[in-house]
Structure 1
Amino acid sequence: MIAPGSVPAGAIPLGSGAQAPILTVTLNPALDVATSAAAVVPELKLRCEAPVTDPGGGGINVSRAIARMGGQSTALVALGGAAGDRLAGLLEDAGLPVLRLKAPGDTRQSLSVIDRGTGAQFRFVLPGPEWSAADVGAALEAVGAAAPRGGIVVLSGSNPPGVPDTLAAMLARQLAGGAARLFVDTSGTALAAIAAGAGAAVEVLRMDDAEAESLAGRPLPARTDTADFAGALVAAGAARSVIVARGADGNIIAGPEGRWHAAAPPVRVISKVGAGDSFLAGYALGVARGLGAPDALALGAAAAAATCMTPATELCRPDDIARLYDQRAVSAL
């Protein structure tokens, strides 16, 4: 079913239409290397396929996915060392506008290996360089200066070592006063700090079901359980809207426009790398183009599912997003 008041079937919000400006922020990017082996087993030398290398990190993936949907964004990225230079070159090759922030050390690398025998994917993620308080202050100033007035700032991905868990709240306070709306997708102790109301509320907070259950301290088996939890975070002032991804059971949002569920399109999963970032890209682009929460949620779900259909770190394809969005199923809770 399509939510009442949504855009008509076939009116896919892709292309070069008008949109509010979007700035993505990636303080802990990675040079993503993806490959495969006949089998992933201990101790043996594993002969791998030729690697595919992509620019990675939450905000970078959001910008890449936005571009796939015909949208525009600027990526503010902290880069350092040879890996940082290579990542910057990949972003330039992709035609993404970039604001480069000097990182306090070499940009990290990550490795994704698929076991061709089982289809299982193994992901190895390094921590990144250590940040000082001065580095954090410089980053906050850079984001504040680049934040588009009336637009959206997307903070996605892990914090580098040394960055406080309260970074999102610090940034929300800096953006207060109408400079931009802050969308956050993070995890672990950084997510817990936002949920606990450590400072100013963010506009949109996204998490997955495992993170939601960890914060809630209990299972959330039903959609209404998840919606109640998300609504409680909104009521507590953690964020104006809270989104929880329930995996194959779709995505739920609670906020000023009510409580909604967008089904996850059934697709053959090849790689889940970047799916969460693609969801956030679809949702943010939908909001930037004036969609209401139900349709923006559906666009995010379509982008995430489309990314699961692609290998390694390729991200979503526009034709897949358009087809999956046209088949969207959104319902009120």
Structure 2
Amino acid sequence: MAAILTITLNPTVDLSISADHVLPERKLRCSRPDTDPGGGGLNVSRAIAALGGHSTAFVALGGPTGDKVMHLLSEQGIGLCPFPAPGETRQSLTVTDAATGAQYRFVMPGPEWGSRDVARVIDRIARAAPEDGIVVLSGSQPPGVPEDFPARLATRLARTRARFFLDTSGPALHRLMTAGAKPADVLRMDDLEAEELAARPLPGRTDTADFAQGLVRRGIAHAVIVARGADGNVLATAEGRWVAQAVPPQVVSKVGAGDSFVAAFTLARAKGLSQPEALRWGSAAAAAAVMTPATGLCLRPDFRAMLKGCALTAL
């Protein structure tokens, strides 16, 4: 199986609590907090482990909160490649109103990075990239990291023998369209991000597939995935277009679905499965993730059940 390296520049300690009611100007008596290491790449590594795979997490850490992340990762058996962050690792808080099921997510910004930090981390990632393996960049960028960071990393990794899977959003995703970078092997986004890039609605699966395949033909990536929520996940390459859909019996929390998708898709590709089959794996893992509460990721039994019923259709 190909080695997997996940990248997290802006990790967090995720605290999850619940209260009977979330109301202003009152003391809210909360449950005991659940504590997990968070950030896109770390969540991908954790989900890979939950599915029985292995990865190494390249993560920028700083201060006592960074030490807490290292401790939590070691407890979960996640291999670690630490990089010194320029400041204290952030924390995030998810509060669930038990009466309504509504979730409130408070996300801190993380430490400020300088240009030297960015140059050093690109060099370190390139040196850590597994030969004939997969590098996954997922999650938000810390303050000070330029919008063209994913594009710069894609160009740098093109000199190695590693494949580059990118799950990004916002300004970094928009910058990728004009940066003239080497194409990523896989680029993933959600439907709202796709519509923003397209500057038009994408009401149907075929519309999404046309848009995604257009990005492939522009040389942005060799494969583009767009998550359409309950309507499934669309994959386009130069050779074809597919949609995979897994329907969970209930939706408890949508947090973690995207990271679970990336984890299962990456694990399937590392095992040598085809891209359409990897799309099925990702869709099944995303459906399994929404069945878990708060910041929970996919669970292996749920993933297996969802995979059995996950439909794959050519578009």
TM-score by length of 1: 0.92
Q: Which residue of 1 aligns with 2:169?
A: 187
* Cα shift readout 1:196-230 (whole Å, capped 9, x = no counterpart): 34422111110000111111111111000100110
* Contact 1:274/1:307 (<8 A) preserved: yes
Question: Does structure 1 residue 86 correspond to structure 2 residue 68?
Answer: yes
SS in 1 for 2:110: coil
Taking only aligned residues, the RMSD between alpha carbons, in angstroms, comes to 1.1
Task: Find the partner of 2:232 among 217, 239, 250.
Answer: 250
Q: Which residue of 1 aligns with 2:28?
A: 46
Question: Does structure 1 residue 272 correspond to structure 2 residue 254?
Answer: yes
Q: Which residue of 2 aligns with 1:326?
A: 308
Tell me the CA shift for residue 42 of structure 1. Answer: 2.1
Task: Find the partner of 1:199 among 181, 192, 213.
Answer: 181
Q: Which runs of 5+ in 1 are unaligned?
A: 1-18
* Contact 1:257/1:293 (<8 A) preserved: no
Q: Which residue of 2 aligns with 1:149?
A: 131
* Contact 1:197/1:238 (<8 A) preserved: no
Tell me the CA shift for residue 246 of structure 1. Answer: 0.3
Q: Which residue of 1 aligns with 2:288?
A: 306
What is the CA–CA distance in structure 2 between the aligned matches of 1:74 and 1:284, rounded to whole Å?
13
Question: Does structure 1 residue 122 correspond to structure 2 residue 104?
Answer: yes
* Contact 2:148/2:179 (<8 A) preserved: no
SS in 1 for 2:201: coil
What is the CA–CA distance in structure 1 between the aligned matches of 2:242 and 2:160, rounded to whole Å?
26
What is the CA–CA distance in structure 1 between the aligned matches of 2:107 and 2:284, rounded to whole Å?
26
SS in 2 for 1:134: helix
SS in 1 for 2:276: helix
SS in 1 for 2:294: coil
Tell me the CA shift for residue 257 of structure 1. Answer: 4.2
What pairs with 1:145-184 in structure 2 (closer than 5 Å)? 145-184=127-166
SS in 2 for 1:224: helix
SS in 2 for 1:55: strand
What is the CA–CA distance in structure 2 between the aligned matches of 1:264 and 1:197, rounded to whole Å?
35
> What letter is aligned with 1:39?
H
What is the CA–CA distance in structure 2 between the aligned matches of 1:208 and 1:30, rounded to whole Å?
22
SS in 1 for 2:127: helix
The farther-off stretch of 306-315 and 47-56 is 306-315
SS in 2 for 1:78: strand
- Report how many residues are paired: 315
Compare relative contact order (CA 8 Å, sep 6+) and give the higher one, 1 or 2. 1
Tell me the CA shift for residue 275 of structure 1. Answer: 1.0
Q: Which runs of 5+ in 2 are unaligned?
A: none
What is the CA–CA distance in structure 2 between the aligned matches of 1:237 and 1:255, rounded to whole Å?
11
Q: % of aligned pairs identical? A: 58
What is the CA–CA distance in structure 2 between the aligned matches of 1:54 and 1:43, rounded to whole Å?
28
TM-score by length of 2: 0.98
* Contact 1:26/1:156 (<8 A) preserved: yes
Q: Which residue of 2 aligns with 1:132?
A: 114
